[in-house]
Amino acid sequence: MAQNLQQLKKRIKTSNSIAQIAKAMEMISASKIRKAQDCVEKHNPYAKKIKYIVQRILTDKDLHDGVKRFSKEKEGKRLVYIISPDKGLAGGLVVNLFKKASSYLKSEDYVVVVGKKASTEATRYDYNVLASFPMGSSFPRYDDLYPMIDIAKKFYLAGEAVKVSIIYTEFKNMLIQESVIEEVFPVKPDKDFKITDIDYIFEPSSRHVLEDLLPFYFEVEFYSAFMNAYASEQAARMTAMRNAKDNANDISASLTNIYNKSRQEKITSEILDLANGQQGMENGK
């Protein structure tokens, strides 16, 4: 019984330690999400303006048909980016991400992976990986994206890839993160886009403006996906760590009850032994 009590004390101590670690990781993820939301709010005005100008050109019926080639669908190899965390302990985020990727990717598609988890899974699935980049543990900087974006410029503009897509986890709220596929190129005209009454003059032409604008458009789309993936990772990890903390506390409470009950049984047994011994001594007299 004494050995069992000692084992119970060790298990209780282990459960409490796990709960403390999980709580610390939960708080770290919560602080990172707040920073991510602040960065998204600062980035949104620029992103919305870029997207507005691109859609303004593509949806204007009076503009030259030369811009339509930027939205024309073609058959051929695709360039697909997969953005995942570097670390685990994020619940089912990586599993759901690669369920979405496996249903979309074809064997001939080019793949660029961002994050160690994506790199590991892409190797396991034997995808045609062109390059691998780390996701990092801090909020992504805009400068970090340029080596990744250069691959898209090279393959899409050269015609080696007919489509550029991004598979990532979209941050909807603190409890919901959804794996999505964003097809960036060719640019699809937004059917709900409303053209204002303001008449624009594009110099030298709308086609040249669109050609110069598309790299910035891709940067905005890619950075938006990167921010969503980062925020989703932190939210998923925060939820997973909260659940781990609650489970560890529940286990600790349950073990504490068992420990107290076992200890009480031990004390009761010792009292009975003493009483029986005392009674035997009295009978012997």
Answer whether residue 6 is part of any domain: no
Answer whether residue 21 is part of any domain: no
Phi and psi at residue 179, to the nearest 5° = -70, 130
Q: Which contacts of 156-159 are long-range, i.e. CB under 8 A and separated by 24 or more positions?
A: 156/79, 156/185
Angle between the N-to-C axes of helices 2-58 and 206-284, in degrees from 0 to 180, rounded to the nearest 10: 170
- Counting Cα atoms < 13 Å in the Cβ hemisphere of 103 gives 10
Answer whether residue 14 is part of any domain: no
| Domain hosting residue 151, numbered range | 41-240
Across the range 1-27, mean pLDDT stands at: 83
- Strands 163-171 and 177-185: what pairing? antiparallel
Q: Which pLDDT value is given to residue 111?
A: 92
Answer whether residue 267 is part of any domain: no
Q: What is the CATH number of the domain that holds 145?
A: 3.40.1380.10
Q: Tokens 């990744």 label which residue?
A: 148
Phi and psi at residue 205, to the nearest 5° = -160, 165
Contact 229, 139 (CB under 8 A): no
Total domains in the chain come to 1
Contact 66, 207 (CB under 8 A): yes
pLDDT value at 282 more than 70: no
Across the range 126-145, mean pLDDT stands at: 83
Answer whether residue 172 is part of any domain: yes
The structure's pTM equals 0.78
Answer whether residue 18 is part of any domain: no
- Two tokens, residue 250: 């529940």
Q: How confident is the model at residue 278 (pLDDT cuts 50, 70, 90)?
A: low
Answer whether residue 263 is part of any domain: no
The residue type found at 127 is Y
Per mean pLDDT, which range of 26-40, 55-69, 112-126 is the poorest? 55-69
Q: How confident is the model at residue 235 (pLDDT cuts 50, 70, 90)?
A: confident
| CB-neighbour burial class of residue 212 (10 A; exposed 0-12, middle 13-18, buried 19+) | exposed
Gyration radius from the chain CA atoms: 30
